[in-house]
Structure 1
Amino acid sequence: MATLSALLVMAVGCGAGIWQLSRADTKIAMAATLLARQQMPILNANAGPWSLEEASERRMIARGQYLPNAAVWLDNRPRPIPPAGSATAQSGFYLMMSLRLEGKDEVLWINRGWAPRNNENRETLPPVKTPSRVVNIEGIVFAHPGKVYELGNNKIDVDVSKPRIVQNFDLESEGKLRGWSQSPFILREVEVGAEDGLLRDWAPLTSGVDRHYAYAFQWFALAFTGFLFWLFTGLRQYQRQSVSNGHRGDQE
């Protein structure tokens, strides 16, 4: 029974450790792919149309005017890179805002950045400055701004004439809701230093790799502990059998 338990612990520990290492390798490979695509020529959203396959993870510039009344605030988003010395991630919003492309009857959704939540009143939106003029935006193309777990399907009647807070952003649903012609991707803005109340210090795709390595070490340590348990249990059993056989030999 002890042997079976030890083997089970070793199998689980080794399997989970290998899985954590594969997760780390996947993130490293994804980051390398993203970096390679960012080195490709910069796309111009106004010169499209571009498909998601053509533009995904590429750098892109866009020129147009924001439609602030259509803003969508994505709730429960941790600060991409926590401040130095902070042990916990600060919760806040991603601001998704539509950009009417200049010279085109098309909208491009922009992830403008992160802003902290008002801890006293979660319905109070952060103060953010939005230019009323035509602007130039540079960013990286993604299929969506990332998803968080939510209860329900968020299918409720909404007022499209004013900003709203949601858990997740559905690009296709937004287009149908507003009857817009829009790009099949979002653009995550990369400009830093702009004094508009938003942070754009995006975490690299390799963030979390060290955590996967730490988890893998813990799982392998558990497997090694199971091996030691099996080894010591076997040695003790062998010693007891030797002593028992020795007593029987003396009695004879």
Structure 2
Amino acid sequence: MKSSNRLFDILIAKRIVATVSALLVIAIGCGAGIWQLNRAEGKIALAENLAARQQMPILNANAAVWSLEEAGERRMIARGRYIPEAAVWLDNRPRPIPAGGAGNTAQAGFYLMMPFQLEGRDEVLWVNRGWAPRNNERRESLPPIETPAGIVNIEGLVFAHPGKVYALGTEGDNVDPNKPRIAQNFDLRRESLLHGWVQAPFILRLEESGVSDGLLREWAPLTSGVDRHYAYAFQWFALAFAGFVFWLLSGLRQYRPGNVVNGDLG
């Protein structure tokens, strides 16, 4: 009993600062590890939900007024014409690489957001037509792409937005809505106010492949990065374990029963 009390005194009571520091490292490591695991599980659940919703009947944008709750993550077809003069180029977007594909994910470029006037309806649908590389020497130069003229049929997946990136400040109010422009992020509500037209409350990410228009549409799966989250979680848990082991061993080095005389440390 006395031995256990001495062990408690040496490991904890006489090492308050070391104990609190170790607990802090363990708490941070475990908390960050659990957060990384939750992020991985969230991506997997989102991908499973997307796969399930893609199996549902394909929606027709021209047939009805759809809400985001009804159409989100579902396949949709639309018929109409593009409005290229009002395009928005979203900057600092990494090149999309499909699962098992090869390419440089660090290559920066643009997502081309283009309004699509639905045939027979007074409604505009914003379309993410794909990715194009940026000219690193002339950053304001837009990539050459082709836009079909006249009425066309398109198909894709419905999302709330094309994804967001960190941006310093916001786009200025003095923009010409009738000219293509470069922006960091895309705001459906702001575009509606700028143009004064009726818009669908979502965007359509084009899924066409094999079309030579200067844009890439080999979208990465939503589970992309799951392995990285697991690796980060392992590193954080390892840090927590290392903190505990260091605290324990450094304390045990001071606990030597053979050096204890009359109940005191010698």
Identify the TM-score tier after normalising by the shorter chain. Answer: over 0.9
**Tell me, what secondary structure is at the counterpart of 1:48?**
coil
The aligned amino acid for 1:74 is: L
Question: What are the equivalent positions in structure 2 for 1:1-252 lying under 5 Å apart?
Answer: 1-81=17-97, 84=102, 86=104, 89-239=106-256, 242-245=257-260
**Cα deviations by residue, 1:202-241 (Å, 9 ceiling, x for unpaired):** 11111111111011000010011012112211220112xx
**Cα deviations by residue, 1:108-162 (Å, 9 ceiling, x for unpaired):** 1100000000011011000000001211110000111111111222132111221
d(CA) in 1 for partners of 2:173, 2:149: 30
d(CA) in 2 for partners of 1:37, 1:110: 19
**Tell me, what secondary structure is at the counterpart of 1:29?**
helix
CA RMSD of aligned residues (A): 1.9
d(CA) in 1 for partners of 2:201, 2:262: 82
d(CA) in 1 for partners of 2:162, 2:263: 75
Displacement of 1:84 = 2.4
Displacement of 1:243 = 4.1
- Does the CA-based 8 Å contact 1:2-1:233 persist in structure 2? no
TM-score, structure 1 as length reference: 0.93
**Tell me, what secondary structure is at the counterpart of 2:255?**
helix
- Does the CA-based 8 Å contact 1:66-1:130 persist in structure 2? yes
**Tell me, what secondary structure is at the counterpart of 2:141?**
coil
The aligned amino acid for 1:172 is: R
**Cα deviations by residue, 1:40-98 (Å, 9 ceiling, x for unpaired):** 00000010111111111110000111111011100111112186264x51100000001
Q: 1:132 to 1:238 in 2, by over 3 A?
A: same
- Does the CA-based 8 Å contact 2:159-2:203 persist in structure 1? yes
The aligned amino acid for 2:135 is: N
**5+ unaligned residues in a row in structure 2: which ranges?**
1-16
d(CA) in 1 for partners of 2:19, 2:228: 31
- Does the CA-based 8 Å contact 1:128-1:196 persist in structure 2? yes
d(CA) in 2 for partners of 1:108, 1:248: 82
**Tell me, what secondary structure is at the counterpart of 2:32?**
helix
The aligned amino acid for 1:244 is: N
**Tell me, what secondary structure is at the counterpart of 1:46?**
coil
Displacement of 1:2 = 2.2
Displacement of 1:247 = 10
How many residue pairs match? The answer is 247
The aligned amino acid for 1:205 is: L
d(CA) in 2 for partners of 1:50, 1:216: 40
**Tell me, what secondary structure is at the counterpart of 1:238?**
coil
TM-score, structure 2 as length reference: 0.88
d(CA) in 2 for partners of 1:235, 1:223: 19
